[in-house]
Amino acid sequence: MIRRDSPALGLRLAFGVVILLHAVLAVAAFWLLPQGFPILHRRFALNALFPACVASGSIALGLALVFAPRWGFRFLPAVPALWAAAALGLLLVFPETGAAAARPIGLVALNLSALVAFTCRKYSLRECLPATLLGVGLGTAGAFAERPPPPTTQPSRQEPQALSAKPGEPIGRRLEIGRELTIDGATLGVTWRRREVSISIEPALTFDRTPPDGFWSIFTDKRGNARAPRSLTTSPGALDLWAADGTLRLSVRRMTSVVELDAWTLVDQPTYSHLNSYTTVKVSGHQRLALRFAGCPSAPIAVTHADYPTGAPARFAYVDAARRFHVVQAADAEKGPFTSLAEGSLAPGTPLVVDLIELSDAARTFARLQLSDFAAQLSTALSPTAGHGVSENAIQFGLESTDANSEAYLLFTLAASGVGRGWDSVGHRAGAYRNRLRLETFENTPPPASVEPAH
């Protein structure tokens, strides 16, 4: 039975629509946000507990508006209070980039507040205070849960060698060490063209967007602080490229069948990003490419094409907090849950070795990559966008198209959130990051063991 002093039917219907939208948004958030986090992890509270509370609370409030409208309308202030607290919390937690998200949230809170104030004008402040405090608590907790944890990457404990006092030559756009090895002076991409394949490597640590306060990358246009080198020194079979301020350095050594790279990148302050690259490798000229990771006993893992944002599943590898090395395949594009393809171990001081295998005709290893510093510097914290136990570090690999002989890529990251859903940022500690990489090619090698088929 509806009391005479209850709000009008039109207001009850309007708030019924608002409450229904809240429930739908909460269910969608629970469905779309990554799951699989430990109960005590902040992402469990943000991605699972918070949407569940909003959805269940919305349903309860909607039922109260129908069957007990006076009590239901006493709890309506929780709705604008939640939005207003979330907007204010984002401004406090992310003072430099949070305003872009806080403005539309605050606008919603302002309109809902006006509607609730008109509807609940007959209720005393004491009657509405519990609901208001509940909304403020939920909104504030949600905003503060978005704050990224401190970076856990490990900069190199070594110090780069002092630069020579002798000034070097200006860097050209294209540098060469023989006919087969070229260096791009702008990107530091090193390309080695062999008889059958071409392998390009970019060994410098680079960042995409870097929000200064660690908020989502879509709310900033600021780019990483890596600078291109300006000078070089040369010797037979070798090049040294460096920036005068010491932020970037690359040494290239060429032997008969081996190229050795030694790159240093200085990160002068903690840097947060959604996407970045510790090493990017591109391979072309193959027919059917597979990878085999040392220390991870398995058949070679075929390199396949992945779709985005949905479709064919992606494959990648990562190291967890127990130093277990996992090669997995996603369920949909790069999103979980993830199926294990191979598993091994990778201790902090162990070089990461990756064999490049040609599967056409008689399968054979045609090149080998060795990254000496990757395992020691990576972060093993849980990725905020992947879930299901996946860490921030990753080795993503795939083909540019569905053709088996299309260009392949390997993307090594110490800490990023490119796997999964969302634009959350993760951090790199300040310091010097080293990347010693050895590329060796083989002309004739025995075929590997049986090949893991593409799914």
Question: H-helix or E-strand containing 247?
Answer: none
Q: Amino acid identity, residue 33?
A: L
Strand 238-242 relative to strand 231-235: parallel, antiparallel, unpaired? antiparallel
Q: Give Cβ neighbours of residue 282 (< 8 Å, ≥ 6 apart).
A: 199, 200, 201, 407, 408, 409, 410
Look at residue 159 and give its three-state secondary structure: coil
Rounded CA separation 21/295 (Å): 51
263-313 residue pLDDT tens:
999 999 999 999 999 999 999 999 999 999 988 877 789 999 999 989 999
Give the residue among 208, 246, 222, 221 at the shortest CA–CA distance from 413.
Answer: 208
Give average pLDDT by consecutive 10-residue segment, the chain, 455 residues: 53 79 92 92 92 91 82 87 96 95 95 86 83 93 93 90 57 76 85 90 94 94 67 73 80 90 93 96 95 86 94 96 96 94 94 94 88 97 95 97 96 96 95 96 54 40
> pTM of whole model > 0.95?
no
Residue-level pLDDT at 231: 64
CA distance 171 to 429: 29
pLDDT of residue 8: 61
For residues 384 and 312, is the Cβ–Cβ distance under 8 A? no
pLDDT at 363: 79
- The Cα 120–Cα 111 span in angstroms is 14
For 2-98, where are the alpha helices, taking DSSP H only?
9-32, 42-44, 50-67, 69-74, 78-93
Q: Of 428, 393, 397, 383, which is closest to residue 413 (Cα–Cα)? A: 393
Phi, psi of 65 (to 5 degrees): -65, -30
Position 7 scores a pLDDT of 56
Which pLDDT does position 9 carry in this prediction?
Answer: 65
